[in-house]
Structure 1
Amino acid sequence: MARTKNRGYQQTLTPTYTARLWKMGGYIRLSREDLQKINRGLDDSNSVKNQRDILNDFHFNHAEEFESYTEYVDDGHTGTDTERESFQRLLGDVMSGKINCVVVKDLSRFARNYSDAGSLIDNLFVQMGVRFISLAEGVDSYLNPDSVNSIIVPITNVMNDQYCYQTSKKIRQVFDYKRRNGQYIGSFAPYSYIKDPKDKHQLIVDPEAAEIVKKIYELCLQGMAKLQIVMYLNDHGIPSPTAYRKLKGLPYSPAISDAPMWGNKIITDILRNPIYTGDLVQGRRRVKSYKVHQIEAVPEDEWVRVPDTHEAIITHET
């Protein structure tokens, strides 16, 4: 076999199909953007229900071709992310032979990343004799092998990839504008603040939690070490930021929902956070790219700092 590249399946082969009764895997994906459009009543053509109805109708009208049908649904995932849970389960079932025919409503449901879509459709599926069908584009690698290599597939994939790039670029531009105009864009308000009900990009003081922040700074100025402050707060039964948010019914991050007690890192973050002086510092982390969804640290000289955006809890001198 010729040498391969790009995940081990970057070569063009002629598929060898042994199946005549296919084991169909129907893949459904609803992106966050699709969900927002549906919620606003703008467009439900890509809803899970609509995709499911189309795939079920196809399966019903071609029942004689299939011996089984398995559904895979990723709800609220971007098409550039190949780590989607159901997408990975689909690929695993392809590798194990549980399914040998993948059907999607259209190519953008499968992937908006050109390189991933091309590698999977043109090579992995071809090598394994897996039939691929995209209903909207009329692609069927078994009944019409040329349809996979026709111009419609690479052009559609490039368009999907470009669409994702442009969408990501626009979102970054909007976020950057909001940061530079002193608008808070975090998912959750920092401890001792809440989002203004009238303007979610504005922070207002939570008086009860603000007293705890003041106490932490007071203890620090008295010469207490961070560990001593932690012990003081826990010994006095003062709820940690996560426990406090739960107690008050405020939004909190599930990633830190298992931190019911005060810890050294929490104290360090509070003492280092300029937000308590009324200044907003944002853009300290970012996603690497619209294709690579890993979070990376941003150099400090690139952070966006806007002074006096909200009420301070402590002074700069403190």
Structure 2
Amino acid sequence: MMHEVEVIKANRKISDRTSGKITDILRVAPYARVSTDSEEQLNSYKSQVAYYTDLVEKRKDWELADIYADEAITGTQVTKRENFQRMINDCIDGKIDMIITKSISRFARNTLDTLKYVRMLKERNIAVLFEDENINTMTMDGELLLVILSSVAQQEVENISANVKKGLKMKMKRGELVGFQSCLGYDYDPTDKSISINEAEAIVVQYIYDRYIDGAGAYVIAKELTKLGYKTKYGNTEWHDTAVLGIIKNEKYKGDFTMQE
């Protein structure tokens, strides 16, 4: 569990937005992100938060504005990163003087987004410090280097994505199951990758198909399942027509397992 970070409000402004004059204390905002929900990556996320907390505390000329961190979500779309957007909003509100992040790929995953936010922040006299690339956007000469590095970062992401897709296809060729864990009526053992029928859940699936063959619609079936107290795969007793339709349209119930359509 991530430790709570005490936010210390700045006693004085770091920079005069009109004259550009810099004072001796920076309100620093570290940004950390991991892109998967695996235990290893979540531990990495916690390590990043601890690292940046310690880093800021060691500097007498820095004070912590806040720590912004996104976890267990993809980084390819900035709009999904809630804490990133919160950080940008705080920059616009004048609460931050410098952002610290591990690398360009941690800050934004494509050239367009990188340049958009760096330019916007630079106009407000807010620096972004990329540790791996050793770039401070307030002191760098032009944007050419940033364009090159962010392009490289984007290429790295695309390579990782291609490798993941290749790995999934190799699993499929070997007959290994991908994405089967939440299928009502079946239990999946990730250890030996075997499937077994869940008798209690199978009754619900049979009921759905029997009622559908009788002419009942998904909305009616959902109401009946809720009234009967049947549970969904996630243990909910309230059913919706979308859940019923998802089962009716699922090709697995006729013995097929379609992948990579």
TM-score, with structure 1 as normaliser: 0.64
1:217 corresponds to which of 209, 215, 237 = 209
- Cα 1:87–1:262 change in 2 (3 A) is closer
CA RMSD of aligned residues (A): 3.1
Equivalent residue letter for 2:208: I
Query: What is the aligned counterpart of 2:159 among 141, 166, 172?
Result: 166
Match of 2:196 among 201, 204, 209: 204
In 2, Cα distance between equivalents of 1:104 and 1:129:
17
| Number of the residue aligned with 1:239 | 230
- 2:123 paired residue among 114, 122, 127: 127
Equivalent position amino acid for 1:81 in 2: Q
The answer to whether the Cα contact below 8 Å between 1:28 and 1:48 also exists between their aligned partners in 2 is: no
What SS does the corresponding residue of 1:163 show, helix, strand or coil? helix
Aligned twin of 2:97 = 100
What SS class does the counterpart of residue 132 from structure 1 fall into? strand
The residue type paired with residue 29 of structure 1 is: R
Distance 2:98 2:106 in 1: 16
Contact 2:35 2:41 in 1 (8 A): no
CA contact (8 A) 2:27 2:65 kept: yes
Q: Deviations over 1:182-228 (max 9, x none)?
A: 5432263311111134334x43211222123223333444x342355
SS of corresponding position for 1:27:
strand
1:1-318 paired onto structure 2 within 5 Å: 17-20=20-23, 21-32=25-36, 47-50=45-48, 52-54=50-52, 56-58=54-56, 60-61=58-59, 63-64=60-61, 66=62, 68-83=64-79, 84-121=81-118, 123-142=119-138, 144-146=139-141, 149=143, 151=145, 153-179=146-172, 182-186=175-179, 188-200=181-193, 202-221=194-213, 223-226=214-217, 229-230=221-222, 232-235=224-227, 237-242=228-233, 245-246=234-235, 260-283=237-260, 303=261
Is the 2:28–2:64 contact (alpha carbons within 8 Å) kept by the matching residues of 1?
Answer: yes
Structure 1 moving runs of 4+ over 6 Å: none
Contact 1:55 1:104 in 2 (8 A): no
Q: What amino acid is the match of 1:117?
A: T
**Separation in structure 2 between the aligned mates of residue 67 and residue 261 of structure 1, nearest angstrom:** 49
SS in 2 for 1:91: helix
Is the alpha carbon distance of 1:163 and 1:216 closer, same or farther for their aligned partners in structure 2, counting shifts above 3 Å?
same
Q: Does the CA-based 8 Å contact 2:29-2:98 persist in structure 1? A: yes
Task: Assess if the C-alpha contact under 8 Å between 2:70 and 2:84 holds in 1.
Answer: yes
Letter aligned with residue 95 of structure 1: I
Equivalent residues of 1:274, 1:280 under 8 A apart: yes
Gaps of 5+ in 2: 1-17
Higher relative strand content: 1
Q: Is the 8 A contact 1:51 1:105 kept in 2?
A: no
What TM-score, normalized by structure 2, do the two folds share?
A: 0.76
Matched residues, percent identical? 22
Structure 2 contact 186–202 (Cα < 8 Å) conserved: yes
Residue-pair matches, total: 241
